[in-house]
Chain A
Amino acid sequence: MLMLIKGGRVIDPGNLDGIMDILIADGKIVEIKKDGLVDGEYPEAKIIDASDKIVTPGLIDMHVHLRDPGHEYKETIETGCLAAAFGGFTAICCMPNTNPVNDCRQVTEYILQKAQSTGNVRVYPVAAISKGLKGDGLCEYGELKEAGAVAVSDDGNPVTNGQLMRRALEYSKGFDLPVISHCEDLELAAGGAMNEGVVATRMGLAGIPNAAESIMVMRDIALCELTGVPIHIAHVSTDESVRAIRDAKKREVPVTAETAPHYFTLTDEAVKEYNTNTKMNPPLRSSHDREAVCQGIADGTIDVIATDHAPHSFIEKQVEFDRAANGIIGLETSVALSLKLVEDGVIPMTVLVEKMSTNPARILGLKNGLHIGGPADITIIDPERSYRVTADNFRSLSRNTPFDGWDMKGKAVLTMVGGKIVYQEEPSAVGG
């Protein structure tokens, strides 16, 4: 079947930017035309009107927790994919802290098979750095790579042993498996429920200092320098981390970094009413840190926006704040929150597309971009679309978002994976 995406502003950073038409056949892009195709040239093509919209290479969220296998009441591979498609993502990377942990071929294969049979977007498994995420031995990266893992990470847990992290970097190099690091000094963070600072002091909650993150960021940068092997820093939340990464990049250390929409949108002030949907790790930081994260996004220190989509049910969240599970879901609110960066003049639209598509693909070695002959993984965004977030309407099985009821501007209105439309907003659709 032929499809024609007509009249949108096509942005593929470093490749295309302008009003163009894209012709799709058999799941592939077959033509990209600048001045628009002549009406009637392909009378049989299904027309997708993209005027006043942004057409981008499929967005990639490189930091997602799918909870499958093991915690399917929070999210399954199927529902996680539905949430991703709704949020404009054509591909997601799922973290290994499932039950069982994705630390062996069988689990990686299970995830890929289930994604194949029930998922509607591309799922790229991230395998564990260490067996069982326990930090006392390397996983079999050769076998994991062969099974389909695209990166390794002990996300959720830091790799506390510096020697293990060094060896993981060196050993992973042979398989081109990027290492993603969750940076946290567990002793400094111990017992903490939110950011250390005035708000925590007032609320009587134990704080997690910025240094709990930045100390490990600095260690990882040192190991990156030592080994020469790239490292990717997950969920950057503090000024000190941003500065350390910026300085390392100046020295041409091969470090990359991501942050999540909540870190550039919210501060620890949001925790005030003991709302457990503002609890995550790392925690929401001060306004000073929020500004530093924005600055890091603007100057390229932070390469990627990833959500750290972390589904939890009411069982884990409707409890005392210090006992509540860490994490919030993000797939269905990421585009709108990130577009705010463009509206506020932090970054231009092209750079946003880099951070949500081009850069994650480059870091993970995934195919990406709008090229003739390439797969038609495409997201169409309406930057002007206004709506109110209604968590009850989410595709995700979970509802743990601090953005429920927020008025948003900007939404993915069509998500296409391999030429197949996996989400399309109905013109009359209301709510999020």
Chain B
Amino acid sequence: MRFSKKHILDMESLSVDEITLILDTADRMKEISERPIKKVPTLRGKTVVLFFYEPSTRTRISFDIAAKRLSADSLSISASSSSMVKGETLIDTARNIEAMNPDVIVIRHSSAGAPHMLAGMVKPSIINAGDGMHAHPTQSLLDLMTVRENKGEISGLRIAVIGDISHSRVARSNSIGFTKMGAHVVLAGPRTMIPKGIEALGVSVTYDVEEAIRDADVIMMLRIQKERQQDFLFPSEREYSSVYGLTKAKLKKAKDNVLIMHPGPINRGVEIAYDVADGPYSIILDQVTNGVAVRMALLYLVTGGARSADAD
């Protein structure tokens, strides 16, 4: 199969076949990072711009390492170091970057839809590295990869996503991604954190965390942000962690072979107890490892890697 998508904007626009191709490619890419010499020449001569308007450590480093392991030239721009601070608009900044002929622009932005806007206006491939509360497709793909790796397949699994669903692009992308791949997604959290009409994504919703945990094959905890107390979403970290946090006691009700995931950064002791984050069922660091492989796969595929590989 050839990969024909130029941009990776959200999970909605990827088909099951395309997702499968990305995951299969990532599985093969993973081995490169385990070699003593972690570099292949595949994307030699390609330029990847990492355009981060919002702070990010994990995702930015992951893309940077992915690009370098494929021999692409990568560089990072952050909002504070760009002309944005001088009042330049996103479009103007992007057009200036475009004028230097990069092949891929990876963008992280606090505004939903920003990558869509760029995709319609500039030539390079756009990869969405997280836009507002909207989408985080590369996170969803690495989560899919990690679950598939551990469980053999995704279809038929029950995935519980727990926390602030309203503000989470990871929850949205995973709701769409896992549902598309045949899993059943259950979203759980306080009512204040469940956005209106989210069931339209094909998921079910519960306000009872224990109900979500029961029968789950995968439990994905979301980071809780302290600032949300000001929006009256929850009264205190203390109450949040006791009612909605994942503790050993709650885990007892889960399946024996349950997997625990977290997109990071984690608040130990708030949404996830200390001992749970590091427990034997935790695959949180596998997620990070696979993030590099998935991003290598995406950079390879959007730059026409599949086409040139076919030709070889």
Partner of A201, one of B90, B135, B200: B200
A215-256, CB < 8 A from B: none
Given the contacts A197-B197, A274-B117, A321-B112, A205 and B132 also touching, CB distance less than 8 Å: yes
In the assembled complex, the Cα of A261 lies from the Cα of B203 at a distance in Å of 36
Interface residues on B, range: 20 to 34
Chain B residues in 8 Å Cβ range of A318: 89, 91
Nearest chain A residue, comparing its CB with the CB of B132: A204
Q: Is the CB of B134 within 8 A of A205?
A: yes
Chain A residues in 8 Å Cβ range of B116: 273-274
Contact bitstring B145-168, A, C-beta under 8 A = 1, else 0:
000000000000000000000000
Q: Is the CB of B134 within 8 A of A203?
A: yes
Given the contacts A204-B132, A204-B169, A318-B89, A274 and B196 also touching, CB distance less than 8 Å: no
Given the contacts A206-B133, A274-B117, A320-B117, A201 and B112 also touching, CB distance less than 8 Å: no
Chain A residues in 8 Å Cβ range of B132: 204-205, 322
- B273, CB-defined interface residue at 8 Å: no
Given the contacts A274-B112, A321-B113, A202 and B196 also touching, CB distance less than 8 Å: no
Given the contacts A202-B201, A203-B134, A204-B169, A320 and B195 also touching, CB distance less than 8 Å: no
Chain B residues in 8 Å Cβ range of A198: 196-197, 200
Nearest chain B residue, comparing its CB with the CB of A199: B197
Q: Is the CB of A204 within 8 A of B131?
A: yes
- A330, CB-defined interface residue at 8 Å: no
Q: Is the CB of A202 within 8 A of B200?
A: yes
In the assembled complex, the Cα of A274 lies from the Cα of B90 at a distance in Å of 15
In the assembled complex, the Cα of A184 lies from the Cα of B118 at a distance in Å of 33
- B184, CB-defined interface residue at 8 Å: no
In the assembled complex, the Cα of A321 lies from the Cα of B90 at a distance in Å of 12
Given the contacts A197-B197, A198-B200, A319-B90, A204 and B109 also touching, CB distance less than 8 Å: no
In the assembled complex, the Cα of A198 lies from the Cα of B172 at a distance in Å of 12
Partner of B196, one of A197, A203, A323: A197
Chain A residues in 8 Å Cβ range of B197: 197-198, 201
- Name the distance in Å between B222's Cβ and chain A's nearest Cβ: 14
- Name the distance in Å between A187's Cβ and chain B's nearest Cβ: 10
Q: Is the CB of A319 within 8 A of B89?
A: yes
Name which of B91, B112, B113, B169 has the most chain A CB atoms within 10 A of its CB: B113
In the assembled complex, the Cα of A201 lies from the Cα of B205 at a distance in Å of 14
- B114, CB-defined interface residue at 8 Å: yes
- A375, CB-defined interface residue at 8 Å: no
A299-352, CB < 8 A from B: 315, 318-323
- B306, CB-defined interface residue at 8 Å: no
B186-224, CB < 8 A from A: 195-198, 200-201
- A196, CB-defined interface residue at 8 Å: yes
Chain A residues in 8 Å Cβ range of B89: 315, 318-319
In the assembled complex, the Cα of A264 lies from the Cα of B175 at a distance in Å of 33
- Name the distance in Å between B44's Cβ and chain A's nearest Cβ: 34
Given the contacts A204-B132, A319-B91, A196 and B113 also touching, CB distance less than 8 Å: no
In the assembled complex, the Cα of A198 lies from the Cα of B198 at a distance in Å of 7
Chain A residues in 8 Å Cβ range of B111: 320-323
Chain B residues in 8 Å Cβ range of A132: none
Chain B residues in 8 Å Cβ range of A207: 195-196
In the assembled complex, the Cα of A201 lies from the Cα of B113 at a distance in Å of 13
Of the A-B pairs whose beta carbons lie under 8 Å apart in the complex, a sample of 5, sorted by A's number, is A197-B197, A198-B196, A200-B196, A201-B196, A204-B133
- Known: A201-B197, A204-B133, A205-B113; 5 extra A-B contacts, CB below 8 A, are A201-B172, A204-B131, A204-B135, A205-B133, A319-B89
Residues of B within 8 A of A (CB): 12, 89-91, 109, 111-114, 116-117, 131-135, 169, 172, 195-198, 200-201
